[in-house]
């Protein structure tokens, strides 16, 4: 199989590329603009493979995208390219609208032209549009997001992802493009850009810096190990039904403060210091519009497709902390030149 992976140099995208090439022997064409969050080092394990191809282009560039479809004749697309950090969307929403909405439209149109022309392996061509559980808004103390949950996005990021989901579904219903939509819970694991909660806490702890926790830390997320997500996307690509939506979750609900405390306990054990890392926990002003709880019901993916998350949060977070401790060559350049751990998403007048 030859698959275009948009955003393939990002966190989830690079995990998909490594899984598809190293474990499944697929050919992968990475289409990535290489923004601050794109990192060629995340693709180093597969970069020398004859099954790996790289195209540096913006998904908003219709001519470039159409040329890539024509050149590579893909069997499938996994669309992961997106601006993805909620905090950055609060203070700079324009790029989120351009990439997440207009970029998705451009990609869908290119795929529609390619598919309608009967190019490639038309009978099994698939377009997997990868989205987030944040499109559903905030849960109360009980209940889970299902594929039938109404959309209720809270942030500029989740609003643009909701818009792109609707575009993808409309292109399936109107034009017959074989689109499948997935909505996943919070990912974590190796190669995660340091602006996100888990790598930020690990790296701040190593530097003996404050470990910032928004509000009182009671906000809850369902955590999904990124390699489990990569396996899920392969399963959805090969066994999922066009026109369907599949929720992907790890069944690992944790409050933010418990996540931070778990990391501190692991750091105390794996990299002991003169005082406990728990002493570095610092509560800071909450994020504007911060959703209280997300939790995915992954029953459809589990029962219909036979996919189950393999990692518990306990096993996945220990693997993650070990990886950051063992791979400073990957994250140190990012901390020096790209993101030094500063607070993002503050409202400006």
Closest CA to 38 of 97, 98, 99, 117: 99
pLDDT of residue 16: 98
Say how many C-beta atoms besides its own lie within 10 A of residue 210's C-beta: 14
Among residues 32, 87, 134, 195, the one annotated as catalytic is 134
Give the residue ranges of DSSP H helices in 132-196: 156-175
Coil/strand/helix, residue 2: strand
H or E element that contains 12 = helix 11-18
pLDDT of residue 119: 60
What span, in angstroms and rounded, lies between the C-alpha atoms of 245 and 187? 18
Range with lowest mean pLDDT among 244-248, 266-270, 342-346: 342-346
What span, in angstroms and rounded, lies between the C-alpha atoms of 64 and 53? 15
pLDDT of residue 122: 58
Cβ neighbours for 257, distance < 8 A, ≥ 6 positions apart: 213, 216, 217, 218, 281
Among residues 32, 58, 83, 157, the one annotated as catalytic is 157
Among residues 27, 133, 195, 302, the one annotated as catalytic is 133
pLDDT of residue 343: 86
Cα dihedral 56/155/149/143 (nearest 10): 120
Which one has a higher pLDDT value, 349 or 110? Answer: 110
Q: How confident is the model over 58-92, as pLDDT tens digits? A: 999 999 999 999 999 999 999 999 999 898 999 99
* Model confidence at 349: pLDDT above 60: no
Q: How confident is the model over 181-240, as pLDDT tens digits? A: 999 999 999 999 999 999 999 999 999 999 999 999 999 999 999 999 999 999 999 999
pLDDT of residue 242: 97
Are 161 and 82 spatial neighbours (Cβ–Cβ below 8 Å)? yes
Q: How confident is the model over 93-147, as pLDDT tens digits? A: 999 999 999 999 999 999 999 999 876 555 689 999 999 999 999 999 999 999 9
Say how many C-beta atoms besides its own lie within 10 A of residue 249's C-beta: 28
DSSP 144-157: -B-TTPPP---SHH
What does the mean pLDDT of the chain come to? 96
Q: How confident is the model over 152-174, as pLDDT tens digits? A: 999 999 999 999 999 999 999 99
* Model confidence at 346: pLDDT above 80: no
* Model confidence at 348: pLDDT above 70: no
* Model confidence at 339: pLDDT above 60: yes
- Is residue 157 among the annotated active site residues? yes
Structure confidence at residue 345 as a pLDDT band (50, 70, 90): confident
The CATH H-level (homologous superfamily) assignment of domain 2-192+222-252+290-311 is: NAD(P)-binding Rossmann-like Domain (3.40.50.720)
Structure confidence at residue 344 as a pLDDT band (50, 70, 90): confident
Q: How confident is the model over 305-332, as pLDDT tens digits? A: 999 999 999 999 999 999 999 999 999 9
pLDDT of residue 124: 85
What span, in angstroms and rounded, lies between the C-alpha atoms of 298 and 318? 23
């Amino acid at each position: 199989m030859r698959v275009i992976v948009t955003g393939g140099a990002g966190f989830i995208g690079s995990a998909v590329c490594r899984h598809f090439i190293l474990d499944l022997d697929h050919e992968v064409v990475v289409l990535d603009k290489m923004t601050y969050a794109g990192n060629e080092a995340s693709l180093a394990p597969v970069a020398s493979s004859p099954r790996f191809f790289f195209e540096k282009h913006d998904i908003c560039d219709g001519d470039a995208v159409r040329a890539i479809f024509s050149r590579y004749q893909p069997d499938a697309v996994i669309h992961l390219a997106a601006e993805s950090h909620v905090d950055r969307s609060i203070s700079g929403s324009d790029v989120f609208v351009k990439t997440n909405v207009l970029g998705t439209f451009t990609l869908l149109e290119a795929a529609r032209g390619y598919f309608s022309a009967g190019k490639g392996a038309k009978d099994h061509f698939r377009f997997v549009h990868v989205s987030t559980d944040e499109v559903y808004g905030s849960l109360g103390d009980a209940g889970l997001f299902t594929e039938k949950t109404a959309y209720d996005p809270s942030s500029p990021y989740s609003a643009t992802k909701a818009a792109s989901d609707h575009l993808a579904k409309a292109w399936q219903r109107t034009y017959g493009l074989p689109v499948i939509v997935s909505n996943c819970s919070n990912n974590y694991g190796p190669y995660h850009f340091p602006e996100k909660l888990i790598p930020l806490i690990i790296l701040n702890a190593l530097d003996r810096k404050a470990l910032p926790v928004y509000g009182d830390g009671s906000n809850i997320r369902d955590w999904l190990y990124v390699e489990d997500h990569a396996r899920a996307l392969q399963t959805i690509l090969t066994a999922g039904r066009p026109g369907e939506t599949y929720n992907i979750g790890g069944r690992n609900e944790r409050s933010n403060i418990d996540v931070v405390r778990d990391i501190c306990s692991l750091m105390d054990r794996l990299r002991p210091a003169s005082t406990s890392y728990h002493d570095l926990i610092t509560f800071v002003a909450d994020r504007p519009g911060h959703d209280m709880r997300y939790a995915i019901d992954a029953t459809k993916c589990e029962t219909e497709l036979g996919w189950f998350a393999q990692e518990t949060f306990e096993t996945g977070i220990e693997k993650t902390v070990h990886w950051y401790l063992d791979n400073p060559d990957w994250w140190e350049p990012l901390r020096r030149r790209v993101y030094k751990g500063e607070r993002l998403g503050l409202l400006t007048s």
